[in-house]
């Protein structure tokens, strides 16, 4: 299997050379304008297949509300608001994403989810949550984002910084498959092309390791096989408490 991975990974790296060139000369940035539309189309299918898992994951958000019942939630990589339907009524949301082209989709999502309160949209990567004060939010949410950030440890450090003591970080991420499987092999083989079509997404991350090392006081993490295409079936899901 090792030789198979090496040969075909090299093959797909060669296939990705035109995409690498487009990124080098700056043309790839135009794909980032199209990506929000693509994600908008994909999100409905993902939500439908993962509805039960998302509903279960976010079922206890309210227990992390501030005294008085208010809940200030920060979503990293909010995209087009695919998680909004699962948030409790009157939840106030700060949205962050490094791609400013998600803005119009977010406003559309809030219009469809009138039970929520929009706070702000901050164009920033998860590694630098600029403008978000230390210990200021009750909950941070991050789904299908840690696969594409540049530095997972830096993101988790920022999450701990902005969370109130006793606040929680909710996550749902696809991860690398078991090394003994063919899915694991194909994740490595297809990664060079997947990276560009997924706007930086990586199939080969063992995200649970960074979560286990992030110094949260409590970590509730489960490995599941999601009802999705084989390459992204392996998921980790859960929450961590500061």
Of residues 30 and 91, more confidently modeled: 91
**176 pLDDT exceeds 70?**
yes
Range of the domain at 100: 2-241
pLDDT digits (tens, 9 = 90+) for 47-90: 899 999 999 999 999 999 988 889 999 999 988 899 999 999 98
List the end-to-end C-alpha distance of the chain, in Å, as a whole number. 41
Report, as an integer, the average pLDDT of 116-134.
Answer: 92
Q: At what angle do helices 17-24 and 182-197 cross, to 10 degrees?
A: 30
Each residue's pLDDT tens digit, 197-211: 888 899 999 999 999
- Classify 38 as helix, strand or coil: helix
Report pLDDT for 17.
66
d(CA 47, CA 53): 9
* Mean pLDDT, range 84-113, rounded to an integer: 90
Q: Quick: pLDDT tens for 132-161.
A: 999 999 999 999 999 999 999 999 999 999
**How far apart, in whole angstroms, are the C-alpha atoms of residue 241 and residue 54?**
18
Number of neighbouring beta carbons within 10 Å of residue 99: 16
Domain count, the chain: 1
Could you tell me the CATH number of the domain that includes residue 221?
Answer: 3.40.50.150
Q: Residue 24 — φ and ψ, nearest 5°?
A: -65, -40
* pLDDT at residue 119 greater than cutoff 80: yes
Whole-number pLDDT of residue 6: 74
């Amino acid at each position: 299997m090792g030789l198979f991975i090496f040969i075909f990974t090299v093959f797909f790296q060669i296939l990705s050379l035109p995409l690498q060139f487009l990124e080098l000369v700056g043309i790839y940035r135009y794909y980032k304008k199209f990506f929000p539309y693509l994600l908008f189309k994909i999100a409905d299918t993902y939500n439908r297949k993962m509805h039960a898992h998302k509903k279960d994951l976010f079922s206890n958000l309210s227990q992390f509300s501030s005294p008085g019942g208010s809940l200030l939630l920060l979503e990293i990589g909010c995209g087009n608001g695919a998680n909004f339907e699962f948030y409790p009524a009157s939840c106030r949301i700060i949205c962050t994403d490094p791609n400013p082209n998600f803005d119009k989709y977010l406003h559309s999502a809030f219009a469809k989810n009138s039970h929520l309160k929009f706070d702000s949209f901050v164009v920033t990567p998860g590694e630098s949550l600029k403008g978000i004060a230390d210990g200021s939010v009750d909950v941070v949410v991050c789904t299908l984002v840690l696969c594409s950030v540049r530095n997972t440890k830096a993101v988790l450090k920022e999450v701990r910084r902005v969370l109130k003591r006793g606040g929680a970080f909710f996550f749902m991420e696809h991860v690398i498959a078991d090394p003994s499987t063919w899915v694991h092999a194909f994740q490595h083989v297809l990664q060079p092309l997947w990276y560009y079509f997924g706007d930086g997404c990586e199939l080969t991350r063992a995200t649970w390791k960074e979560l286990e090392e992030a110094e949260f006081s409590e970590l509730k993490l489960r490995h599941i096989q999601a009802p999705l295409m084989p390459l992204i079936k392996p998921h980790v899901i859960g929450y961590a408490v500061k």
